[in-house]
Amino acid sequence: MTQMAKAREGIITEEMKIAAQYEGIDPEIIRKGVAEGTIVVPANINHKGLKPRAIGKGMKTKINTNFGMSRGKEDQEYELEKLQLSLDMNSDTVMDLSIGGDIKGLLKRVIEKSPVAVGTVPAYQMIAEKGIFFTAEDFFEAIIDQAKLGVDYMTLHCGVNQSSLKLLDDSKRIMNCVSRGGGVMLNWMKKNGTENPLFEYYDRLLDIAAEYDVTLSLGDGFRPGSIHDATDKHQIHELRILGELTLRAWEKNVQVMVEGPGHVPLDQIATNVKLQKTLCHGAPFYVLGPLVTDIGAGYDHITAAIGGAVAAWHGVDMLCYVTPAEHLRLPALIDVREGIAATKIAAHAGDLAKGVTSYSEKDNVMSRARKDYDWEKQRELAFDKIKFDKYQKDGEQGDKKQCSMCGEYCPMRES
Protein backbone atom coordinates (compact mmCIF):
# COMPACT_ATOMS: atom_id res chain seq x y z
CA MET A 1 0.00 0.00 0.00
CA THR A 2 1.23 3.50 -0.80
CA GLN A 3 1.41 6.35 1.69
CA MET A 4 -1.66 7.77 -0.07
CA ALA A 5 -3.63 4.52 0.19
CA LYS A 6 -2.83 4.27 3.89
CA ALA A 7 -3.66 7.92 4.50
CA ARG A 8 -7.04 7.40 2.85
CA GLU A 9 -7.70 4.52 5.22
CA GLY A 10 -6.98 6.82 8.14
CA ILE A 11 -3.56 5.31 8.91
CA ILE A 12 -0.75 7.58 10.15
CA THR A 13 2.43 5.88 8.93
CA GLU A 14 5.89 5.97 10.50
CA GLU A 15 7.02 8.11 7.54
CA MET A 16 4.26 10.65 8.23
CA LYS A 17 5.28 10.78 11.89
CA ILE A 18 8.93 11.45 10.97
CA ALA A 19 7.88 14.16 8.51
CA ALA A 20 5.57 15.72 11.11
CA GLN A 21 8.33 15.77 13.71
CA TYR A 22 10.56 17.68 11.28
CA GLU A 23 7.77 20.21 10.65
CA GLY A 24 6.87 20.44 14.34
CA ILE A 25 3.20 19.68 13.63
CA ASP A 26 0.53 17.07 14.38
CA PRO A 27 1.00 14.03 12.05
CA GLU A 28 -2.74 14.06 11.38
CA ILE A 29 -2.23 17.24 9.30
CA ILE A 30 0.14 15.32 7.06
CA ARG A 31 -2.12 12.27 6.84
CA LYS A 32 -5.02 14.44 5.75
CA GLY A 33 -2.92 16.27 3.14
CA VAL A 34 -1.52 13.02 1.72
CA ALA A 35 -5.05 11.57 1.50
CA GLU A 36 -6.24 14.66 -0.39
CA GLY A 37 -3.13 14.87 -2.59
CA THR A 38 -2.09 18.34 -1.42
CA ILE A 39 0.94 16.88 0.40
CA VAL A 40 3.38 14.17 -0.71
CA VAL A 41 5.72 12.11 1.45
CA PRO A 42 8.04 10.50 -1.13
CA ALA A 43 9.07 7.18 0.42
CA ASN A 44 9.91 4.20 -1.79
CA ILE A 45 9.35 0.94 0.11
CA ASN A 46 12.92 -0.12 -0.82
CA HIS A 47 14.73 3.01 0.47
CA LYS A 48 16.15 1.79 3.77
CA GLY A 49 17.05 4.37 6.40
CA LEU A 50 14.91 7.06 4.76
CA LYS A 51 13.80 9.96 6.93
CA PRO A 52 11.22 11.48 4.61
CA ARG A 53 9.95 15.03 4.58
CA ALA A 54 6.54 16.28 3.63
CA ILE A 55 6.18 18.52 0.58
CA GLY A 56 3.00 20.49 0.05
CA LYS A 57 0.30 22.73 1.43
CA GLY A 58 1.04 24.21 4.85
CA MET A 59 4.52 22.64 5.02
CA LYS A 60 7.82 24.52 5.11
CA THR A 61 9.08 25.12 1.58
CA LYS A 62 11.52 22.36 0.69
CA ILE A 63 14.60 22.55 -1.47
CA ASN A 64 16.14 19.99 -3.79
CA THR A 65 19.78 19.67 -4.81
CA ASN A 66 20.84 18.11 -8.11
CA PHE A 67 24.12 16.43 -8.94
CA GLY A 68 25.24 13.60 -11.18
CA MET A 69 27.83 12.52 -13.70
CA SER A 70 27.90 13.49 -17.35
CA ARG A 71 29.93 12.06 -20.21
CA GLY A 72 33.61 12.78 -19.56
CA LYS A 73 32.85 13.79 -15.94
CA GLU A 74 32.34 10.36 -14.45
CA ASP A 75 33.93 10.63 -11.01
CA GLN A 76 31.48 9.00 -8.59
CA GLU A 77 33.43 10.11 -5.51
CA TYR A 78 33.15 13.77 -6.54
CA GLU A 79 29.37 13.44 -6.99
CA LEU A 80 29.12 11.73 -3.58
CA GLU A 81 30.94 14.73 -2.09
CA LYS A 82 28.14 16.87 -3.53
CA LEU A 83 25.61 14.54 -1.89
CA GLN A 84 27.37 14.91 1.47
CA LEU A 85 27.48 18.69 1.11
CA SER A 86 23.75 18.70 0.29
CA LEU A 87 23.03 16.71 3.45
CA ASP A 88 25.33 18.89 5.57
CA MET A 89 23.46 21.97 4.34
CA ASN A 90 20.09 20.34 5.05
CA SER A 91 18.77 19.82 1.56
CA ASP A 92 15.31 18.24 1.80
CA THR A 93 15.66 15.98 -1.24
CA VAL A 94 18.42 15.20 -3.74
CA MET A 95 18.26 14.22 -7.39
CA ASP A 96 20.87 12.11 -9.15
CA LEU A 97 20.71 13.43 -12.72
CA SER A 98 23.57 11.39 -14.17
CA ILE A 99 23.71 11.15 -17.94
CA GLY A 100 27.09 9.43 -18.13
CA GLY A 101 29.34 6.92 -16.35
CA ASP A 102 28.01 4.00 -14.31
CA ILE A 103 24.55 5.47 -13.74
CA LYS A 104 23.05 2.54 -11.82
CA GLY A 105 26.22 2.12 -9.75
CA LEU A 106 26.18 5.71 -8.52
CA LEU A 107 22.42 5.70 -7.96
CA LYS A 108 22.67 2.63 -5.73
CA ARG A 109 25.36 4.32 -3.62
CA VAL A 110 23.37 7.57 -3.40
CA ILE A 111 20.27 5.75 -2.16
CA GLU A 112 22.31 3.83 0.42
CA LYS A 113 23.90 7.02 1.75
CA SER A 114 20.95 9.40 1.59
CA PRO A 115 18.50 9.71 4.49
CA VAL A 116 16.49 12.21 2.43
CA ALA A 117 14.32 11.31 -0.56
CA VAL A 118 16.18 10.59 -3.80
CA GLY A 119 14.78 11.58 -7.19
CA THR A 120 15.82 10.75 -10.77
CA VAL A 121 14.88 11.44 -14.37
CA PRO A 122 14.79 7.93 -15.92
CA ALA A 123 14.91 9.41 -19.45
CA TYR A 124 18.55 10.30 -18.74
CA GLN A 125 19.44 6.66 -18.17
CA MET A 126 17.69 5.81 -21.44
CA ILE A 127 19.48 8.43 -23.50
CA ALA A 128 22.85 7.55 -21.92
CA GLU A 129 22.46 3.82 -22.55
CA LYS A 130 20.72 3.75 -25.92
CA GLY A 131 20.67 7.23 -27.39
CA ILE A 132 17.31 7.86 -29.03
CA PHE A 133 17.01 4.20 -30.09
CA PHE A 134 15.17 2.89 -27.04
CA THR A 135 11.82 1.13 -27.06
CA ALA A 136 8.86 1.75 -24.79
CA GLU A 137 9.69 -1.57 -23.15
CA ASP A 138 13.29 -0.41 -22.48
CA PHE A 139 11.92 2.70 -20.79
CA PHE A 140 9.55 0.81 -18.51
CA GLU A 141 12.32 -1.64 -17.59
CA ALA A 142 14.56 1.27 -16.57
CA ILE A 143 11.74 2.70 -14.44
CA ILE A 144 11.22 -0.67 -12.74
CA ASP A 145 14.99 -1.04 -12.17
CA GLN A 146 15.18 2.36 -10.50
CA ALA A 147 12.03 1.70 -8.46
CA LYS A 148 13.56 -1.57 -7.22
CA LEU A 149 16.73 0.30 -6.21
CA GLY A 150 14.63 2.59 -3.99
CA VAL A 151 14.17 5.85 -5.95
CA ASP A 152 11.57 7.87 -4.04
CA TYR A 153 10.40 10.15 -6.83
CA MET A 154 10.84 10.24 -10.58
CA THR A 155 10.53 13.12 -12.98
CA LEU A 156 8.60 11.75 -15.94
CA HIS A 157 7.55 13.90 -18.87
CA CYS A 158 4.16 12.29 -19.41
CA GLY A 159 2.57 15.53 -20.61
CA VAL A 160 4.78 15.88 -23.68
CA ASN A 161 2.45 14.26 -26.19
CA GLN A 162 1.41 14.47 -29.84
CA SER A 163 -1.00 17.34 -29.15
CA SER A 164 1.77 19.44 -27.58
CA LEU A 165 4.13 18.50 -30.42
CA LYS A 166 1.56 19.73 -32.95
CA LEU A 167 1.27 23.06 -31.13
CA LEU A 168 4.93 23.69 -31.95
CA ASP A 169 4.05 24.00 -35.67
CA ASP A 170 3.29 27.70 -35.26
CA SER A 171 5.38 28.34 -32.16
CA LYS A 172 6.39 31.93 -31.43
CA ARG A 173 8.83 30.82 -28.76
CA ILE A 174 12.48 31.83 -28.69
CA MET A 175 13.33 28.36 -27.33
CA ASN A 176 10.82 25.59 -28.00
CA CYS A 177 12.16 23.15 -25.42
CA VAL A 178 14.81 23.57 -22.71
CA SER A 179 13.94 20.48 -20.69
CA ARG A 180 16.47 17.67 -21.18
CA GLY A 181 13.93 14.96 -20.31
CA GLY A 182 11.18 16.67 -22.30
CA GLY A 183 13.55 16.99 -25.26
CA VAL A 184 14.29 13.25 -25.14
CA MET A 185 10.57 12.46 -25.39
CA LEU A 186 10.00 15.03 -28.16
CA ASN A 187 12.83 13.62 -30.27
CA TRP A 188 11.68 10.07 -29.62
CA MET A 189 8.13 10.87 -30.77
CA LYS A 190 9.40 12.62 -33.90
CA LYS A 191 11.68 9.71 -34.76
CA ASN A 192 9.07 7.02 -34.15
CA GLY A 193 5.99 8.94 -35.30
CA THR A 194 4.05 7.56 -32.34
CA GLU A 195 2.72 8.74 -29.01
CA ASN A 196 4.92 9.25 -25.92
CA PRO A 197 4.83 5.84 -24.16
CA LEU A 198 4.65 7.55 -20.76
CA PHE A 199 1.39 9.17 -21.89
CA GLU A 200 0.03 6.25 -23.92
CA TYR A 201 0.72 3.64 -21.25
CA TYR A 202 0.24 5.90 -18.26
CA ASP A 203 -1.77 3.26 -16.39
CA ARG A 204 1.16 0.87 -16.59
CA LEU A 205 3.39 3.58 -15.14
CA LEU A 206 0.89 4.11 -12.32
CA ASP A 207 0.87 0.40 -11.50
CA ILE A 208 4.68 0.43 -11.16
CA ALA A 209 4.59 3.60 -9.05
CA ALA A 210 1.91 2.10 -6.80
CA GLU A 211 3.86 -1.15 -6.32
CA TYR A 212 7.00 0.59 -5.00
CA ASP A 213 5.34 3.80 -3.77
CA VAL A 214 7.28 5.99 -6.16
CA THR A 215 5.99 9.57 -6.17
CA LEU A 216 5.51 10.91 -9.68
CA SER A 217 7.03 14.29 -10.33
CA LEU A 218 5.21 15.19 -13.53
CA GLY A 219 7.86 16.95 -15.60
CA ASP A 220 7.26 20.15 -17.51
CA GLY A 221 8.80 19.52 -20.90
CA PHE A 222 7.57 22.90 -22.09
CA ARG A 223 8.73 24.99 -19.18
CA PRO A 224 9.72 28.42 -20.46
CA GLY A 225 13.47 28.75 -20.84
CA SER A 226 13.24 32.45 -21.54
CA ILE A 227 11.27 35.36 -20.11
CA HIS A 228 9.77 35.86 -23.58
CA ASP A 229 8.23 32.37 -23.49
CA ALA A 230 6.74 32.53 -19.98
CA THR A 231 3.09 31.60 -19.37
CA ASP A 232 2.47 30.93 -23.08
CA LYS A 233 0.12 28.44 -24.75
CA HIS A 234 2.69 25.62 -24.74
CA GLN A 235 3.26 25.85 -21.00
CA ILE A 236 -0.45 26.10 -20.17
CA HIS A 237 -1.45 23.33 -22.60
CA GLU A 238 0.96 20.96 -20.86
CA LEU A 239 -0.21 22.08 -17.42
CA ARG A 240 -3.80 21.12 -18.35
CA ILE A 241 -2.61 17.65 -19.39
CA LEU A 242 -0.66 17.30 -16.13
CA GLY A 243 -3.81 18.24 -14.20
CA GLU A 244 -5.72 15.36 -15.86
CA LEU A 245 -2.84 12.96 -15.21
CA THR A 246 -2.78 14.03 -11.56
CA LEU A 247 -6.41 12.95 -11.11
CA ARG A 248 -5.73 9.60 -12.78
CA ALA A 249 -2.76 9.00 -10.46
CA TRP A 250 -4.83 9.79 -7.39
CA GLU A 251 -7.43 7.23 -8.51
CA LYS A 252 -4.68 4.61 -8.10
CA ASN A 253 -3.36 6.08 -4.82
CA VAL A 254 -0.14 7.30 -6.47
CA GLN A 255 1.39 10.45 -5.00
CA VAL A 256 2.04 13.31 -7.43
CA MET A 257 4.00 16.56 -7.58
CA VAL A 258 3.85 18.82 -10.61
CA GLU A 259 6.97 20.55 -11.91
CA GLY A 260 7.10 24.14 -13.10
CA PRO A 261 9.21 26.88 -14.62
CA GLY A 262 11.82 27.91 -15.54
CA HIS A 263 12.17 31.55 -16.57
CA VAL A 264 9.29 33.76 -15.40
CA PRO A 265 9.24 37.54 -14.87
CA LEU A 266 8.57 38.63 -11.30
CA ASP A 267 5.11 40.00 -12.10
CA GLN A 268 3.90 36.64 -13.52
CA ILE A 269 5.01 34.37 -10.67
CA ALA A 270 1.88 34.68 -8.51
CA THR A 271 -0.32 33.94 -11.55
CA ASN A 272 1.80 30.90 -12.42
CA VAL A 273 1.36 29.46 -8.93
CA LYS A 274 -2.39 30.12 -8.98
CA LEU A 275 -2.73 28.49 -12.41
CA GLN A 276 -0.85 25.36 -11.36
CA LYS A 277 -2.77 25.00 -8.11
CA THR A 278 -6.08 25.37 -9.98
CA LEU A 279 -5.36 23.24 -13.05
CA CYS A 280 -3.58 20.53 -11.04
CA HIS A 281 -6.17 20.36 -8.25
CA GLY A 282 -3.89 21.49 -5.42
CA ALA A 283 -1.08 18.98 -6.09
CA PRO A 284 2.29 20.15 -4.68
CA PHE A 285 4.19 22.47 -7.02
CA TYR A 286 7.94 21.99 -7.53
CA VAL A 287 9.72 24.71 -9.53
CA LEU A 288 13.15 25.20 -11.03
CA GLY A 289 13.94 28.74 -9.92
CA PRO A 290 12.02 30.50 -11.36
CA LEU A 291 14.67 32.75 -12.87
CA VAL A 292 13.31 36.28 -13.08
CA THR A 293 15.63 37.51 -15.83
CA ASP A 294 17.60 35.86 -18.63
CA ILE A 295 20.75 37.92 -18.18
CA GLY A 296 22.16 36.71 -14.87
CA ALA A 297 24.83 34.39 -16.30
CA GLY A 298 27.29 33.44 -13.56
CA TYR A 299 24.80 34.64 -10.93
CA ASP A 300 21.72 32.60 -11.77
CA HIS A 301 21.54 31.31 -8.19
CA ILE A 302 20.55 34.91 -7.42
CA THR A 303 18.04 35.35 -10.28
CA ALA A 304 16.51 32.02 -9.18
CA ALA A 305 16.49 32.91 -5.48
CA ILE A 306 14.61 36.14 -6.18
CA GLY A 307 11.98 34.18 -8.10
CA GLY A 308 12.05 31.29 -5.63
CA ALA A 309 11.30 33.53 -2.65
CA VAL A 310 8.30 35.09 -4.41
CA ALA A 311 7.12 31.68 -5.64
CA ALA A 312 7.37 30.17 -2.15
CA TRP A 313 5.51 33.16 -0.72
CA HIS A 314 2.64 32.52 -3.14
CA GLY A 315 2.41 28.80 -2.42
CA VAL A 316 5.14 26.87 -4.26
CA ASP A 317 6.06 23.82 -2.20
CA MET A 318 9.58 22.89 -3.30
CA LEU A 319 12.37 24.84 -4.99
CA CYS A 320 14.93 23.10 -7.13
CA TYR A 321 18.25 24.75 -6.50
CA VAL A 322 20.02 26.70 -9.22
CA THR A 323 23.77 27.27 -9.09
CA PRO A 324 26.05 30.02 -10.44
CA ALA A 325 27.03 27.46 -13.11
CA GLU A 326 23.51 27.38 -14.60
CA HIS A 327 23.59 27.61 -18.42
CA LEU A 328 27.41 27.41 -18.34
CA ARG A 329 28.86 24.13 -17.01
CA LEU A 330 28.36 21.12 -14.76
CA PRO A 331 28.37 22.59 -11.22
CA ALA A 332 31.54 22.18 -9.16
CA LEU A 333 31.41 21.74 -5.37
CA ILE A 334 31.67 25.49 -4.78
CA ASP A 335 28.72 26.07 -7.16
CA VAL A 336 26.67 23.47 -5.29
CA ARG A 337 27.38 25.24 -1.99
CA GLU A 338 26.43 28.67 -3.32
CA GLY A 339 23.32 27.25 -4.98
CA ILE A 340 22.07 25.50 -1.86
CA ALA A 341 22.66 28.56 0.35
CA ALA A 342 20.82 30.87 -2.07
CA THR A 343 17.90 28.45 -2.40
CA LYS A 344 17.64 27.90 1.37
CA ILE A 345 17.49 31.67 1.85
CA ALA A 346 14.75 31.93 -0.81
CA ALA A 347 12.69 29.15 0.78
CA HIS A 348 13.04 30.65 4.25
CA ALA A 349 12.15 34.16 3.05
CA GLY A 350 9.07 32.73 1.31
CA ASP A 351 8.09 30.84 4.45
CA LEU A 352 8.31 33.98 6.59
CA ALA A 353 5.99 35.74 4.13
CA LYS A 354 3.47 32.90 3.87
CA GLY A 355 3.48 32.38 7.61
CA VAL A 356 4.61 28.75 7.91
CA THR A 357 7.73 29.88 9.81
CA SER A 358 7.67 32.46 12.55
CA TYR A 359 10.22 35.26 12.86
CA SER A 360 10.78 34.21 16.45
CA GLU A 361 12.02 30.77 15.40
CA LYS A 362 15.33 31.83 13.85
CA ASP A 363 15.40 35.45 12.70
CA ASN A 364 14.90 37.03 16.11
CA VAL A 365 17.44 34.62 17.58
CA MET A 366 19.97 35.70 14.93
CA SER A 367 19.30 39.37 15.61
CA ARG A 368 19.83 38.91 19.34
CA ALA A 369 23.02 36.95 18.69
CA ARG A 370 24.30 39.84 16.57
CA LYS A 371 23.38 42.33 19.26
CA ASP A 372 25.20 40.17 21.85
CA TYR A 373 28.23 39.49 19.58
CA ASP A 374 27.45 35.79 20.04
CA TRP A 375 29.45 34.53 17.05
CA GLU A 376 28.83 30.85 17.85
CA LYS A 377 25.06 31.29 17.77
CA GLN A 378 25.31 33.29 14.55
CA ARG A 379 27.34 30.46 13.02
CA GLU A 380 24.79 27.90 14.14
CA LEU A 381 22.05 29.77 12.28
CA ALA A 382 24.06 30.50 9.12
CA PHE A 383 23.05 28.47 6.05
CA ASP A 384 26.66 28.36 4.80
CA LYS A 385 28.94 27.72 7.77
CA ILE A 386 32.07 27.39 5.63
CA LYS A 387 31.63 30.93 4.30
CA PHE A 388 30.64 32.21 7.73
CA ASP A 389 33.88 30.85 9.24
CA LYS A 390 36.05 32.32 6.51
CA TYR A 391 34.47 35.77 6.56
CA GLN A 392 34.24 35.93 10.33
CA LYS A 393 37.90 35.00 10.70
CA ASP A 394 38.88 37.59 8.08
CA GLY A 395 36.86 40.26 9.86
CA GLU A 396 37.89 39.40 13.38
CA GLN A 397 39.66 42.11 15.34
CA GLY A 398 41.27 41.86 18.76
CA ASP A 399 38.06 43.02 20.39
CA LYS A 400 35.32 40.44 19.79
CA LYS A 401 32.73 43.21 20.18
CA GLN A 402 33.28 44.55 16.69
CA CYS A 403 34.31 43.38 13.26
CA SER A 404 36.39 44.97 10.53
CA MET A 405 33.32 46.67 9.01
CA CYS A 406 32.92 49.54 11.50
CA GLY A 407 35.74 48.58 13.88
CA GLU A 408 35.82 50.58 17.09
CA TYR A 409 32.83 52.59 15.88
CA CYS A 410 30.55 49.55 16.07
CA PRO A 411 27.16 51.22 16.68
CA MET A 412 25.69 48.30 18.61
CA ARG A 413 28.05 48.72 21.57
CA GLU A 414 26.48 51.71 23.19
CA SER A 415 22.93 51.43 21.87
- Which residues lie near ligand SF4 (CB under 6 A)? 402-403, 405-406, 410-412
Shortest Å distance, C-beta 167 to ligand SF4: 54
Judged by CB, which is closer to ligand SF4: 345, or 403? 403
The 3-state DSSP class for residue 304 equals helix
User: For the purposes of burial, counting CB atoms within 10 Å of the CB of 404, is it exposed (0-12), middle (13-18) or buried (19 or more)?
Assistant: exposed
For residue 371, how many other CB atoms are within 10 A of its CB? 10
Judged by CB, which is closer to ligand SF4: 25, or 410? 410
Q: How does DSSP classify residue 229?
A: G
Judged by CB, which is closer to ligand SF4: 298, or 395? 395
Shortest Å distance, C-beta 400 to ligand SF4: 10
Shortest Å distance, C-beta 407 to ligand SF4: 6
CA 48 to the chain's CA centroid:
21
Q: What is the Cα–Cα distance from 353 to 46, expressed in whole angstroms?
A: 37
Residues 6+ apart with CB under 8 A from 198: 139, 156, 157, 158, 185, 205
The 3-state DSSP class for residue 128 equals helix
Judged by CB, which is closer to ligand SF4: 295, or 405? 405
Shortest Å distance, C-beta 371 to ligand SF4: 9
Judged by CB, which is closer to ligand SF4: 365, or 410? 410
User: Which phi and psi (to 5°) does residue 325 adopt?
Assistant: -85, -5
Judged by CB, which is closer to ligand SF4: 138, or 380? 380
The backbone region for 145, taken as left when phi is positive above 0, alpha when psi lies in -120 to 50, beta otherwise, is alpha
Shortest Å distance, C-beta 387 to ligand SF4: 16
